[in-house]
Amino acid sequence: MPTENHAKVRILLKNKKAKVIKRCPFTIQLLYESTNYTQDVSLGVDAGSKHIGLSVTTKDEVLFESDVELRNDIVDLLSTRRQNRRIRRNHKTRYRKARFDNRKRKDGWLVPSVQNKVDTHLTVIRRVHEILPITRIIVEIASFDIQKIKNPTISGTDYQQGEQLDFWNVREYVLFRDDHTCQCCKGKSKDKILNVHHIESRKTGGDAPNNLITLCETCHIGYHKGTVKLPKTIKRGMSFRDAAFMGIMRWAFYNKLKEKYSNVSLTYGYITKNTRIENGLPKDHYIDARCISGNPKAVSDGTVYYQKKVRCHNRQIHKNTILKGGIRKRNQADYKIKGYRLFDTVRYKGNIYTIFGRRNSGFFDIRTLDGTKVNKGSVNYKKLQLIQPNSNYLIEFRKHTV
Ligand SMILES: [Zn+2]
């Protein structure tokens, strides 16, 4: 469990009663028997396609919070590979018999970019499990609950918070259905604030999705002032396209997670949003995760671990363009240059950085995880000190106010 008592840790390490397991977050393993007592600890996961928010909380304390940035280069890399292969096949080469047809997609096959996101979700959760005694995991699976809209009499623990929360659910659904675009100006006003407008008044028309429409604030205010007219196609009870496609990634991830851990439950974005606003918390991935974990009042010391998933390999062996004289230049640098690998964590002038590029001359491109270069991307390797060798989860910690 997290400790504020740094002196004690130092003594434990000095007396060889503990050893260092991880540098960031700094984790030690005790080398003596301790009690098995642990508190009730819950992990909230804000699953997403670009970021994952993680928050481990007890009733009144935040133990660990993290914001994970996912890879978004996979589609690009794969289409480059496809192109390269196409070019190669069009070369005049010796005849080679067709390989027999042994290519079949397994059941549960996902697009590589989605599969990578699912895997990353599972890995970051496993890594949290390795350092903290998690008793339950709660995942936000979608922004609204479609079953609840179709069948309003449904009941459950989350369904007892009254009509207001029900409206929040329908509201998220309507925003999704309308593609988060104003249905009056179709986004021409450039107003990013969206309202959900009752086509007939709430009293007579009710809160059903067929009486609601997404409008930007400019159009919404304009309509009520009488300066903007809604298109004639918008009237109560009109049919809209149904939200059949509901984020395959989050469902695939949720099902895999349930196979691995026993205490997994789900929640919806509209509940998270409601909790966040009720507690006056700002919007961020880790804050949402804190609300999802069920302990929005837990107090944090402001530490957020920022993680970034990067590629494990560089598979393209040769550069695409062939040099004069038919020389193919290698695309990969040597395994180690001056003893350093790509994505090694290093110390330079007292600060922690990651190696993002290496040159044979020994001048490296080191950066912080938000991409800020040091010395215009050219630092002599002699001035670096290795902190942690290459890992495909880059991590650094940042201080926030909440
Ligand atoms: Zn508009």
Using 50, 70 and 90 to split pLDDT, how confident is the model at 377? confident
Ligand 1 center–CA 220 separation, angstroms: 7
Helix/strand/coil for 216: strand
Gap from CA of 221 to ligand 1 centroid (Å) = 10
Q: Do residues 269 and 247 lie in contact, with contact meaning Cβ atoms separated by under 8 Å? A: no
- The DSSP secondary-structure symbol of 382 reads G
Alpha-carbon torsion angle 200, 201, 202, 205, nearest 10 = -40
Q: Which residues are close to ligand 1, an ion, with C-beta < 5 A?
A: 182, 184-185, 189, 216, 219
What sign for the dihedral angle of Cα 296, 131, 54, 40? Answer: negative
Rounded to the nearest angstrom, the distance between the alpha carbon of 228 and the centre of ligand 1 is 9
CA separation, residue 214 to residues 152, 201, 400 (Å) = 22, 15, 34
Between the CA of 20 and the centroid of ligand 1 the distance, in Å, is 56
Classify the phi-psi angles of 222: left when phi > 0, otherwise alpha if psi is within -120 to 50, otherwise beta.
Answer: alpha
| Number of other residues whose CB lies within 10 A of the CB of residue 161 | 13
Query: Closest Cα to residue 253, out of 114, 68, 146, 359?
Result: 114
CA of 288 to the centre of ligand 1 (A): 28
How far does the centroid of ligand 1 lie from the alpha carbon of residue 170, in Å? 20
User: What's the CA gap between 170 and 29, in Å, rounded?
Assistant: 48
Task: Measure 218 CA to ligand 1 centroid, in angstroms.
Answer: 6
With CA atoms as reference, report the closest residue to 275 among 400, 158, 184, 389: 158
- Ligand 1 centroid–CA 232 distance in Å is 15
Cα of 235 from ligand 1 centre, angstroms:
16
Split at pLDDT 50, 70, 90, the class of 237 is: low
Poorest-pLDDT segment among 104-118, 322-336, 347-361: 322-336
Amino acid at 225: K
CATH of domain 36-72+110-309: 3.30.420
Mean local confidence (pLDDT), 300-309 = 91
For residue 269, report the distance from its CA to the centre of ligand 1, in Å: 24
- Where residue 245 falls among pLDDT bands split at 50, 70, 90? very low
What is the Cα–Cα distance from 158 to 275, expressed in whole angstroms?
12
On the question of a common fold for 36-72+110-309 and 315-392, the answer reads no
Rounded to the nearest whole angstrom, what is the distance from the C-alpha of residue 223 to the centroid of ligand 1?
10
Distance 181 CA to ligand 1 centre (A): 8
- Is-contact 180 191, C-beta < 8 A? no
- Centre of ligand 1 to C-alpha 179, Å, is 13
Taking the whole predicted model, whether its pTM rises above 0.85 is answered as: no
Buried b / exposed e over 271-286, threshold 16 CB at 10 Å, is bbbbbbeeeebeebbb
Q: Are 195 and 217 in contact (CB under 8 A)?
A: yes
Q: Is residue 160 a contact partner of residue 166, using CB atoms and an 8 Å limit? A: no
Distance 186 CA to ligand 1 centre (A): 6
Reduced to 3 states (helix: H, G, I; strand: E, B; else coil), residue 128 is: helix
Is 80 exceeded by the pLDDT of residue 10? yes
Residue 201 CA to ligand 1 center (angstroms) comes to 19
- The Å distance, Cα 208 to ligand 1 centre, comes to 21
Q: Which pLDDT tens digit goes with each residue over 189-220?
A: 888 899 999 988 888 878 888 888 999 999 99
Given a contact cutoff of 8 angstroms between Cβ atoms, the answer to whether 211 and 198 are in contact is: yes
The CB density around residue 215, as the number of other CB atoms within 10 Å, is 26
Determine the distance separating the centroid of ligand 1 and the alpha carbon of 243, expressed in angstroms: 22
Ligand 1 centre distance from Cα of residue 224 (Å): 13
Do residues 393 and 308 lie in contact, with contact meaning Cβ atoms separated by under 8 Å? yes
- CATH number among 2.30.30, 1.10.10, 3.40.50, 1.10.3470, domain 315-392: 2.30.30
**For residues 88, 91, 96 and 101, what is the CA-based torsion angle, rounded to 10 degrees?**
40
How far, in Å, from the CA of 225 to the mean position of ligand 1? 14
Ligand 1 centroid to 164 CA: how many Å? 25
- CA 285 – ligand 1 centroid, Å: 28
Q: How far is the CA of 296 from the centre of ligand 1 (A)?
A: 34
Phi/psi for 268 (5° steps) reads: -120, 155
Q: What is the pLDDT of residue 126?
A: 95
Domain positions in the chain are 1-35, 36-72+110-309, 315-392
Give the mean model confidence (pLDDT) for residues 266-289: 93
Better pLDDT: 88 or 386: 386
